[in-house]
Chain A
Amino acid sequence: MIAHDERRVIPTPFHSRVAAACELNQWEDWKGYTTASAFTDVALEYFAIRNTCGIFDLTPMIKYRVAGPDAGAYLNRLVTRNISKQSVGQVMYCCWCNDAGQVLDDGTLFKFDENTYRICSQERHMDWFLASAMGFDVQIEDETGRVAALAFQGPTSCAVLRKMGFQGIENLKPYRFTSFPFKGDELMISRTGFTGDLGYELWCDPMFAETLWDALMEAGRNYGILPFGAEALGMTRIEAGFIQAGVDFVPALDVVRTQRSRSPYELGLGWLVHLKKANFNGRKSLIAEKEKGSRYRFVRLIIEGNKPAEHAFIFNRRNKAVGTVTTAGWSPTTKSNLAFASLEMPWGLESDELYAEIYYIRELKWTRVMERCRVVTDAFFDPERRHATPAWDF
């Protein structure tokens, strides 16, 4: 249940603290919640994530609780990945498709016990999730407003959590979660995040949200803690190589033009598709696509120069447009100009000679440049500290 509020965009449980810290007073509407775009300085916030630690109000991320004797079977039919081996306390990254094998969204799946899960995503899916529940003994509940969530990311994040008294947190492996007693309640901590760095996500009752924020800020005082907004997060997500619904693809239930949706293979999510598991949504279409070939290839590009290639056309050697950039930005850590792009097949191999057509304006003068692009297959930024367990101490 979302609390009734007369405003159309409502505050999160952290709002009092976020508002106090938001020196720039830059706000945006994220799924009906008031969230900060930036607090102090985007570059400063970004470097906090990469060099020290930062906290980010994650509450508006859509969260569903899936519970019941058939919860596991239900989810395994819903998502393309085989989740039958998911263990309790494990988080799995998944995507889910319609019957035509077109992606509706991607997200993370938390397993609390054999019959209880949480699935987190960018978009709302209640209608699809309920339609998918016919024939299963499951209850699905939108718990977005009932769980306050913070992303706590950066090299010193583990040290801060240890300082707060969460003994053994350093032993938590990536994509695992656990719970700690906290101020008479319970705090769930998962080693997950959208930044591609060492980091955690913290989940609690909204009643304790402010207490949690204060405790983190207090404990992180000497660890360079800084609140960060959506802009800094966006910079880290490109470096980490994470795609986002509504930005890098249009969710299949939202497209008006049928050709505009994308399959998992066309988003670089083929590794999330397990065609050999039992029936799941999109299975037949994805088998057919696997045989016939995909229409598009999703690539990571390093573009020469430093002009952001936002929405640029990608051309091949013969000057034929073969695709477009979906997300682009400068990466301060790798010192390179990065982009995600959706290209028509067969383009996008590492050997392809591709160019981005970039327009930029300087003092009211538009300039067009054709910059050489290089396709990279690995993540742009994937530090060892992100994976190391026990987590490194900084």
Chain B
Amino acid sequence: MTDTFDAVVIGAGHNGLVCAAYLAKRGRRVLIAEAADSVGGASITREFADGYSVSGCAHLLYQFHPEIARDLNLAKHGLVLAGKNLATIALATDGRYRRFSGEVVTGNGLTQHDISEFSAFNGQMTRYAKLLAKVAGRRPPKLVESDWSDKLNLARIGLDIRRLGRDEVRELLRIGAINLFDVLHDRFTDELLKGALSVDGVLGAHMGPRSPNTVLGYLYRHLGDAFGLSGPAIPEGGMGSVTSALAAAARSSGVEIRTGTPVARIICVAGRTSGVMFDSGETIETGLVISNADPKTTFEELVGFPELESGFSRRVHNIRARGTAAKLHLALDGMPEFSGIDAIDSGARLLVAPDLAYVERAFDPAKYGQYSEAPIMEITIPSVHDKTLAPDGKHVLSAVVQYAPYELKAGWDESRTSFQTVIVDTLSQYAPGIRDLITASEVLTPRDIEQQFRIRGGHWHHCELSLDQFMMMRPAFGATQYTTPIDGLYLCGAGAHPGGGVMGLAGRNAANEIIKREKSR
């Protein structure tokens, strides 16, 4: 063995790349081992039909942290945004629409009450999201250990909450742990508006608007607002260009990236890691292993429960990580027309969620292992902004479709075709001519996402984002603050604080924590 590395990062997803880049900038020699043939993890671009490319899993850049983009100089490394601060448009089948852009909502037949109430709601949520952003940007404090930096951090959070002011704190405490359905119902009258807003609370989650934790989900999705953005962005060349820019930044700091190199296991001896072994049998010795893989994969498969203790193993086993979102990719012969909106708005983020009850009803079957017969969707047509994705005059459509439970009673192999029919039928109600434009299509179920992106359960947050799996409880007791029960093994992925989304904070926070801890060792 000739190469020596200070650290091996498992997985070249965005958090793995961010973590490696930050470590390398601080003088560590880092190797990233990626199982797939290219970097990117769930932030990739790929050709799914001849000449048509699409973001394979994540398809919008909601809340990529601007500090990270700056620190790693991603613009220099090739990241260009084709569209940014995109508006969100709620679709209806009868020509109505609701258009959200920043604090402004417009739409035919919208009452003045709802218009002004939305502005107030948006302002309030942005203030809460700013609080959340502060929490997300730091190591989550443990509550019972007398670590001075944890105490300081807790005091800071306390102070930040206090700064919200009495009324805002009271409202945050009131709504923080309840459900988005009730909150929206309290404030708005317009069903189309409420339906659309509820999507931000349930996207990617095994939750309906009436589920607890959906207010947290909403705030998490709006972290971008706290970063000064007013809507998601679409990178030129798809989401893959985010991770290729990150990879370029990492490489320029000296990180070595090996693709097509699946890690078979993390070698542990007496509670300490001594390196990794690849599928090929080759081993790399290092005292520092950082896993960007989800916690279940990391602990159950790569470390193995026998190397851990029973109580911790059980907590890992019990982490809720049931993917419920499917992905639809369509190659289109031309631009589809959506009911009620101008062609110019086809590049916006389009939602199929016509009312609150519709969204809740869409979730109901998922509880019982069935897919929605009338699903909700988040649709993008990135080729409006980015001509590189499809041949001239043609388009690609990418949509998140819910609900498609990971554990489908009837089995996904048997149900894929019928589910695709349901999706296209639903889509046709909002874009009547779309069926004739489809030249190729692809549906990724949570099972496919699990298999293709190596995420156990196919959940894009790795672990459900909910208060019981948040901050110092993420992903589970015994593995918080990016550490694990195995000395020298750390987590840097979506399963760690603060969570998923192409944001990069988990990776950056992990790097900071690792540097701090390994120095004091």
Q: Do A and B bind each other?
A: yes
Min CB distance B91 to A, Å, is 45
B487 and chain A: residue at smallest CB distance? A284
Q: Tell me whether B313 is interfacial, beta carbon within 8 Å.
A: yes
Q: Tell me whether B281 is interfacial, beta carbon within 8 Å.
A: no
- Per-residue CB contact flags for chain B residues 98-118 toward chain A (1 = under 8 Å, else 0) read 000000000000000000000
Residues on A with C-beta less than 8 A from B78 are none
CB–CB A136/B310 < 8 A: no
Which among B271, B306, B307, B310 has the highest number of chain A CB atoms within 10 Å?
A: B310
Q: Tell me whether A77 is interfacial, beta carbon within 8 Å.
A: yes
Take A278-B270, A279-B270, A283-B271 as given contacts and tell me if A99 and B306 are in contact as well, using a CB distance cutoff of 8 Å.
Answer: no
Residues on A with C-beta less than 8 A from B432 are none
Residues on B with C-beta less than 8 A from A73 are 306
Q: Tell me whether A132 is interfacial, beta carbon within 8 Å.
A: yes
CB–CB A77/B312 < 8 A: no
Q: Tell me whether A181 is interfacial, beta carbon within 8 Å.
A: no
Q: CA of A280 to CA of B311 in the docked complex: distance in angstroms? A: 11
Min CB distance A313 to B, Å, is 30
Q: Which of B261-306 contact A (CB under 8 A)?
A: 268, 270-271, 300, 304-306
CB–CB A279/B271 < 8 A: yes
B299 and chain A: residue at smallest CB distance? A135
Min CB distance A285 to B, Å, is 9
Residues on B with C-beta less than 8 A from A78 are 310
Q: Tell me whether B156 is interfacial, beta carbon within 8 Å.
A: no
The number of residues on chain B lying at the interface, defined by a beta carbon within 8 Å of a beta carbon of chain A, is 18
CB–CB A279/B268 < 8 A: yes
In the complex, which of the residues B271, B314, B485 contacts A134, with contact meaning CB atoms closer than 8 Å? Answer: B314
Q: CA of A281 to CA of B317 in the docked complex: distance in angstroms? A: 16
Q: CA of A131 to CA of B305 in the docked complex: distance in angstroms? A: 10
Take A134-B317, A135-B305 as given contacts and tell me if A284 and B271 are in contact as well, using a CB distance cutoff of 8 Å.
Answer: yes
Q: Tell me whether B308 is interfacial, beta carbon within 8 Å.
A: yes
Q: Tell me whether A360 is interfacial, beta carbon within 8 Å.
A: no
Q: CA of A199 to CA of B310 in the docked complex: distance in angstroms? A: 35
Min CB distance A294 to B, Å, is 20
CB–CB B271/A131 < 8 A: no
Q: Tell me whether B309 is interfacial, beta carbon within 8 Å.
A: yes
CB–CB A128/B306 < 8 A: no
Main secondary structure of the interface of B (DSSP, over half): helix
In the complex, which of the residues A131, A135, A282 contacts B304, with contact meaning CB atoms closer than 8 Å? Answer: A135
Q: Tell me whether A98 is interfacial, beta carbon within 8 Å.
A: yes
In the complex, which of the residues B300, B310, B317, B478 contacts A128, with contact meaning CB atoms closer than 8 Å? Answer: B310
CB–CB A282/B309 < 8 A: yes
Min CB distance A287 to B, Å, is 8
CB–CB A99/B268 < 8 A: no
In the complex, which of the residues A74, A278, A283 contacts B309, with contact meaning CB atoms closer than 8 Å? Answer: A283
Take A279-B270, A279-B271, A283-B271 as given contacts and tell me if A131 and B310 are in contact as well, using a CB distance cutoff of 8 Å.
Answer: yes
Q: CA of A135 to CA of B311 in the docked complex: distance in angstroms? A: 13
Q: CA of A128 to CA of B313 in the docked complex: distance in angstroms? A: 11
- Per-residue CB contact flags for chain A residues 50-71 toward chain B (1 = under 8 Å, else 0) read 0000000000000000000000
Residues on A with C-beta less than 8 A from B307 are 279
Residues on B with C-beta less than 8 A from A136 are 305-306
Residues on B with C-beta less than 8 A from A135 are 300, 304-306, 313
CB–CB A279/B310 < 8 A: no
Q: CA of A100 to CA of B144 in the docked complex: distance in angstroms? A: 15
Q: CA of A279 to CA of B485 in the docked complex: distance in angstroms? A: 11
- Per-residue CB contact flags for chain B residues 13-54 toward chain A (1 = under 8 Å, else 0) read 000000000000000000000000000000000000000000
B486 and chain A: residue at smallest CB distance? A279
Take A283-B271, A284-B485 as given contacts and tell me if A98 and B310 are in contact as well, using a CB distance cutoff of 8 Å.
Answer: yes
Main secondary structure of the interface of A (DSSP, over half): loop
A282 and chain B: residue at smallest CB distance? B309
B305 and chain A: residue at smallest CB distance? A135
Residues on A with C-beta less than 8 A from B311 are 98-100, 131, 281
Residues on B with C-beta less than 8 A from A132 are 310, 313
CB–CB A99/B478 < 8 A: yes
In the complex, which of the residues A74, A98, A279 contacts B308, with contact meaning CB atoms closer than 8 Å? Answer: A279
Q: CA of A376 to CA of B485 in the docked complex: distance in angstroms? A: 39
Min CB distance A255 to B, Å, is 14
- Per-residue CB contact flags for chain A residues 71-104 toward chain B (1 = under 8 Å, else 0) read 0011001100000000000000000001110000
Q: CA of A7 to CA of B306 in the docked complex: distance in angstroms? A: 41
Q: CA of A100 to CA of B307 in the docked complex: distance in angstroms? A: 16
Residues on B with C-beta less than 8 A from A134 are 300, 305, 313-314, 317
Q: CA of A131 to CA of B312 in the docked complex: distance in angstroms? A: 10
Min CB distance B459 to A, Å, is 20
Residues on B with C-beta less than 8 A from A279 are 268, 270-271, 306-309
Q: CA of A128 to CA of B271 in the docked complex: distance in angstroms? A: 21
In the complex, which of the residues B268, B270, B306 contacts A77, with contact meaning CB atoms closer than 8 Å? Answer: B306
Residues on A with C-beta less than 8 A from B310 are 77-78, 98-99, 128, 131-132, 281
Which among A78, A279, A283, A284 has the highest number of chain B CB atoms within 10 Å?
A: A279
B307 and chain A: residue at smallest CB distance? A279
Q: CA of A132 to CA of B478 in the docked complex: distance in angstroms? A: 16
Min CB distance A71 to B, Å, is 13
Residues on B with C-beta less than 8 A from A281 are 309-311
Q: Which of B184-217 contact A (CB under 8 A)?
A: none
Min CB distance A74 to B, Å, is 8
Residues on A with C-beta less than 8 A from B306 are 73-74, 77, 135-136, 279
Min CB distance B306 to A, Å, is 5
Residues on A with C-beta less than 8 A from B313 are 131-132, 134-135
A285 and chain B: residue at smallest CB distance? B309
Q: CA of A131 to CA of B309 in the docked complex: distance in angstroms? A: 10
In the complex, which of the residues A74, A131, A284 contacts B314, with contact meaning CB atoms closer than 8 Å? Answer: A131
A279 and chain B: residue at smallest CB distance? B307
Residues on B with C-beta less than 8 A from A280 are 309
CB pairs A–B below 8 angstroms (30 shown): A74-B306, A77-B306, A77-B310, A98-B309, A98-B311, A99-B309, A99-B310, A99-B312, A99-B478, A131-B311, A131-B314, A131-B317, A132-B313, A134-B305, A134-B313, A135-B304, A135-B305, A135-B306, A135-B313, A136-B305, A136-B306, A278-B270, A279-B268, A279-B307, A279-B308, A280-B309, A281-B309, A281-B310, A283-B271, A284-B309
> B-contacting residues of A (Cβ < 8 Å)?
73-74, 77-78, 98-100, 128, 131-132, 134-136, 278-284
Closest 3 CB pairs of A and B: A135-B305, A99-B311, A132-B310
Task: With A134-B305, A279-B309 given, name 11 new contacts (CB 8 A).
Answer: A99-B310, A131-B314, A132-B313, A134-B317, A135-B304, A135-B313, A136-B305, A279-B271, A279-B308, A284-B271, A284-B485
